[in-house]
Copies of this chain bind each other. A is one copy, B any other.
């Protein structure tokens, strides 16, 4: 059994920015020389995630709109009320209760099959990163195990 790991560093630019990381993931898998196994792609964050879907620009707009409906930025979240909050308060604390609530319904990790030397992605499946908060430095960690 072999195990390889690598981090994708992302400087996100704005709320609800989507970024296609499919090619960077494929390059990592190819360089690993592992032919059969599992690849796990894990976000290291609670307000930025990864998921599989079609990378079509108008669809990404539909998704933004839908995510805003599920956990609207315009609503009030107790997490953002610094008059009452005492836990995990940082110097650069921002209004991001909505981001955490959006993240609740998106995967923190996706696991993909690697079979016959090929990452098993379907025709329309792209690996997408989404920033749910504001412009921030992000890390997505890939780990592959197999032989």
Contact = CB atoms under 8 A, between A and B. Distances in A.
Interface of A: 1, 3, 5, 36-38, 40, 42-46, 51-54, 56-59, 61-63, 66-67, 70-71, 77-79, 81, 84-85, 87-88, 97, 100-101, 103-116, 120-125, 139, 141-143, 145-147
Nearest to A125: B46
B38 A145 contact: yes
Contacts of A78: 58-59, 61-62
A15 B87 CA distance: 23
A42 B113 contact: yes
Contacts of A56: 79, 85, 87-88
25 contacts: A1-B1, A3-B115, A3-B147, A5-B36, A45-B122, A45-B125, A46-B122, A51-B104, A53-B103, A53-B104, A56-B85, A56-B88, A58-B77, A58-B79, A58-B81, A58-B84, A58-B85, A59-B78, A62-B78, A63-B104, A66-B104, A88-B124, A104-B105, A108-B125, A111-B111
Chain A contact residues: over half helix, strand or loop, or mixed? mixed
Nearest to A88: B56
B52 A46 contact: yes
Given A54-B88, A108-B110, 9 more contacts: A3-B146, A38-B111, A44-B122, A51-B104, A56-B87, A62-B101, A63-B100, A63-B101, A115-B143
Contacts of A37: 3, 145
